[in-house]
């Protein structure tokens, strides 16, 4: 993992170094330990927006450092989220994401389709996770760089997440990630005192997913 992580950070620095403020490793790598199919999760903060040439070159190079879970004995799946400092500091909800790279985009990337910057409610959850458990590979610690996300914004983001999983077609083929997301949010509840009704709703989603998977 350390070799792959160094390669990924090297790609990020090569393309973004003039504007790079921070790179934070978060997720299972620093909170609970990497499992066989765990992603390497990185949060990158820059000072300015990416031009299209940089966006495409960076994503294409990241593609070479990542592999879908179970497809490589050497590489793990890599997920990179990039934010512009002034888009999230001071904090506002919902916040804007400059770029996200992940294995689910591989076919689109190979077809020349690149996701643009977009509003992302999940940044409230991601930044909370990074402030609670992360390692700064470049720049200051996350709790020093990022404002705390207000509880109301976090709860709203979690409720929005629930609306994405209403029926089997919403999670078909993605059951593993739904389960992992629920477990991660349950742990987040222990830290933030997430309202019990929200956690209960997440539990209902998990139970439905598990029953559907077992029967199908």
Instruction: List residues with catalytic annotation.
Output: 79
Instruction: Find how far residue 45's CA is from the centre of its chain.
Output: 13
With CA atoms as reference, report the closest residue to 213 among 166, 172, 184.
172
Query: Quick one: tokens of 183?
Result: 């477990």
User: 3-class DSSP state for residue 40?
Assistant: strand
Spell out a b/e string for 86-123, using b for 16 or more CB atoms within 10 Å of the CB, else e. ebbeebebbbbbbbbbbbebeeebeeeebeebeebbbb
Indicate if the alpha-carbon torsion angle 25, 87, 14, 103 is positive or negative: positive
């Amino acid at each position: 993992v350390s070799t792959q992580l160094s390669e990924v950070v090297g790609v990020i620095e090569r393309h973004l170094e003039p504007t790079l403020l921070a790179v934070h490793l978060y997720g299972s790598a620093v909170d609970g330990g990497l499992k066989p199919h765990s992603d390497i999760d990185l949060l990158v903060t820059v000072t300015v927006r990416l031009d299209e040439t940089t966006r495409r070159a960076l994503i294409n190079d990241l593609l070479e450092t990542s592999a879908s879970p179970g497809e490589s004995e050497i590489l793990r799946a890599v997920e990179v989220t990039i934010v512009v400092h002034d888009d999230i500091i001071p904090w506002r909800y919902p916040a804007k994401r400059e770029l996200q790279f992940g294995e689910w985009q591989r076919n689109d990337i190979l077809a020349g389709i690149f996701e643009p910057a977009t509003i992302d409610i999940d940044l409230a959850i991601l930044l909370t996770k990074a402030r609670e458990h992360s390692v700064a590979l470049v720049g200051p610690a996350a709790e020093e760089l990022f404002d705390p996300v207000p509880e109301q914004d976090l709860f709203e983001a979690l409720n929005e997440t629930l609306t994405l999983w209403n029926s089997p077609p919403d999670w078909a083929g993605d059951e593993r990630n739904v389960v992992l997301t629920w477990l991660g949010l349950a742990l987040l509840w222990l830290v933030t005192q997430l309202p019990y009704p929200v956690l209960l709703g997440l539990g209902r989603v998990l139970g439905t997913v598990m029953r559907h998977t077992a029967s199908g």
